[in-house]
Amino acid sequence: MATASHISVSPNDTGLLGLHQKADSAKKASEMLQANMERHHVFFNNDKGFHNHLAHHILTTYALGASPDVIQEAFDRTAAYQLPRRLVDEAIVQKLGDKTQFNSYAGIPDQYPNFLAYFQRQIENRGIEPVVNEYLFAGDNLADDMLVRLFAGVIHPFIQLGFGLEFNQPAIVAEALAETAVHEANLTFLLPAEAAAGGVGQGGKKPLSQLLREIRANTKLREAGRWEDPNKINGLLARAPDEIIEIASQFSVGPDQLEEKLAELFNAVAYFAGAAQRPNKRIKFDFFYMHCVTSTIFLATFVSQPWISKQNKLRILEWKGRVDLMMYASRGAAELRLEEIANYKPKLSWEEVFSQAIHHPREDGHVSKFVRTLAHGEKLCKPFESDEKYQEAFLVRGDMWLKLANMGEFFNFRFLNTLTGSTNSLGPHEFIRNAIFFLGFHSLCPISTLKSSKSLLYPSPASPEVTSLRTSALFGHFLAALRPYPCLSVMVRVPEPPPGLEPRQRRKKKKKKKQQNTNKYFNPRRPETRTPFPTFRPQETPTINPSSGPEG
């Protein structure tokens, strides 16, 4: 039985898609989720706020039909880089019951184990419904503050809570509330946007697709998030707070629009995540736009909970839509090309998409979450596609959902890192981070030449793409970002060639003969018997420049 401290997934609880699962897979998923809760911290990098996605990964893999072995492999792969769980401070746990002291510990990642212990005890004593209602939906200062934090951290606390409710796991709900409490309340536009809309449930007049166009047309909003900003959202909210509030407040959900706007949210995030592409370039999805998609599936879970009031359901939908609009703007409001989705030729069925996502040895949960949401979005939006009333709001229709699931060349699991050129990144790096900032960089790489990351280092200095990049307003930001990486900085700093002079061709490297180990006692099974080869001759000893490299 599932409790606030014990995770037990039922074979009958396979999530919104309702795919069949076996008891042994449910048992394995339960064991892995329990191990994650007992062993690991909520972040695997406290300084940068990189989240522990293990619960997301395990439950999504399970929901898509994974066997026990696949679930175990998913756990092992993702657990390898997690931080150990911190110790609980009982004195602090006792203080959290005092709401006047609750906020003094909020927003501090190291307080996660204390908040987890607190919410586990609250749910154990009172149940999920009263605790979630009190700490998220009560409408007082503490609940509103927690609700803002719920959407922070690229919407991860919201995702965690959604998993807990979808799979009926009180312990994961406790994890989600604790995760919410240790996030920043930095989405300062949400409450003012609600006030500007006249409160909750005023009735939406503009579809999200129209508001996306308005953001794209607003120069100040489009340029508010900058490449050099460590946090693009904070940059946007600092430079264009009034502009994002004005547009975001125009998305609202009336009492009779619950089902319509729920489906519209699925459609809008799929649209801007999939349509942010460059013509004739390799297809990739933006990492942050992708999170708008993967989090949307849980709106269906919130709306289906009978114990959440209709007013709070409307509020959750409105806030999620406004966060999606803000996220689109914060990444430079990439130009959206619907034809990139419509013209794509899919190769895999839904079953094949699911199988490829969960079985790939480098998947960390992002791809499987992405395709699961698209599959549910297809079902949810179908009733609205044939109605002329919804033509503008529902741009993704028919087989475009399956095309989106196919067109992500993330199934190749090769991502061209925007700074290092590495193709060895894992997990979230299968997606592009910060789409609009990357698009100028990405334009250097036509599909025909993007066969390896090395092709980035050899563009023609006179090419239209390089010329366009040099003359763009973002060029200075690119130089600043590339400064720690000389091999990439060179390509945008190289001077224009004289007229008639062709760019120097790439030289072919001569193959060196492999040096033989002449040690007659060498045993390949005993590395200690190997004669070490000198890496550098004395006169070739390299000098280290302390100002070079990413830490310079």
Indicate whether 548 belongs to any domain: no
Q: Averaged over 41-49, what is the pLDDT?
A: 79
Indicate whether 543 belongs to any domain: no
Where does 360-399 have alpha helices with state H? Answer: 366-385
| pTM as predicted | 0.78
Quick one: 372 and 273 in the same domain? yes
Residue 207 · residue 266 · CB < 8 Å: no
Quick one: 111 and 254 in the same domain? no
Residue 314: per-residue pLDDT: 98
Per-residue burial over 175-202, b = 16 or more CB atoms within 10 Å of its CB, e = otherwise: bbbbbbbbbbbbbebbbebbeebeebbb
Instruction: Show the domain range for 361.
Output: 190-412
- Per-residue pLDDT tens for 346-357? 999 999 999 999
Quick one: 350 and 317 in the same domain? yes
Torsion of CA 439, 361, 164, 91, to 10 degrees: -90
Q: Averaged over 379-407, what is the pLDDT?
A: 95
Residue 300 has pLDDT above 60, yes or no: yes
Tell me the pLDDT of the chain averaged across its residues: 82
Q: Regarding predicted confidence, which is higher, 424 or 233?
A: 233
Residue 41 has pLDDT above 70, yes or no: yes
Q: Percentage of the chain surpassing pLDDT 70?
A: 73
Residue 91 has pLDDT above 80, yes or no: yes
- Per-residue pLDDT tens for 136-173? 999 999 999 999 999 999 999 999 999 999 999 999 99
In angstroms, the CA 178 to CA 157 distance is: 9
Quick one: 237 and 147 in the same domain? no
Quick one: 169 and 198 in the same domain? no
Quick one: 154 and 208 in the same domain? no
Q: Regarding predicted confidence, which is higher, 387 or 204?
A: 387
Q: pLDDT grade, residue 228 (50/70/90)?
A: confident
Q: Which of 364, 381, 412 is the last residue of a domain?
A: 412
Quick one: 334 and 224 in the same domain? yes
Residue 521 has pLDDT above 70, yes or no: no
Residue 515: per-residue pLDDT: 52
Residues in the chain: 552
Residue 255 has pLDDT above 80, yes or no: yes
Quick one: 257 and 171 in the same domain? no
Q: pLDDT grade, residue 479 (50/70/90)?
A: low
The region of weakest confidence among 382-391, 515-524, 539-548 is: 539-548
Indicate whether 530 belongs to any domain: no
Residue 48: per-residue pLDDT: 63
Q: Specify the amino acid at residue 330.
A: S
Residue 292 has pLDDT above 80, yes or no: yes
Residue 461: per-residue pLDDT: 44
Indicate whether 393 belongs to any domain: yes
Beta bridge partners of 432: 286
Residue 178 · residue 118 · CB < 8 Å: yes
Residue 481 has pLDDT above 80, yes or no: no
Quick one: 220 and 242 in the same domain? yes
Q: pLDDT grade, residue 414 (50/70/90)?
A: very low
In angstroms, the CA 160 to CA 175 distance is: 8
Quick one: 176 and 194 in the same domain? no
Residue 227: per-residue pLDDT: 85
In angstroms, the CA 396 to CA 252 distance is: 21
Quick one: 154 and 300 in the same domain? no
Q: Which of 412, 436, 454 is the last residue of a domain?
A: 412
Torsion of CA 457, 439, 47, 169, to 10 degrees: -120
The region of weakest confidence among 239-253, 309-323, 461-475 is: 461-475
Quick one: 165 and 220 in the same domain? no
Indicate whether 551 belongs to any domain: no
Residue 94: per-residue pLDDT: 97
In angstroms, the CA 125 to CA 4 distance is: 9
Residue 284 has pLDDT above 80, yes or no: yes
**How many domains does the chain divide into?**
2
Residue 220: per-residue pLDDT: 96
Indicate whether 107 belongs to any domain: yes
Q: Averaged over 529-548, what is the pLDDT?
A: 38
Task: Name the nearest CA neighbour of 164 among 104, 120, 208.
Answer: 120
Q: Which of 181, 207, 232 is the last residue of a domain?
A: 181
Indicate whether 498 belongs to any domain: no
Torsion of CA 178, 183, 186, 188, to 10 degrees: 0
Indicate whether 457 belongs to any domain: no
Q: Regarding predicted confidence, which is higher, 159 or 458?
A: 159
Residue 290 has pLDDT above 70, yes or no: yes
Q: pLDDT grade, residue 321 (50/70/90)?
A: very high
Q: CB 501: neighbour CB atoms within 10 A?
A: 9
Q: Averaged over 299-303, what is the pLDDT?
A: 98
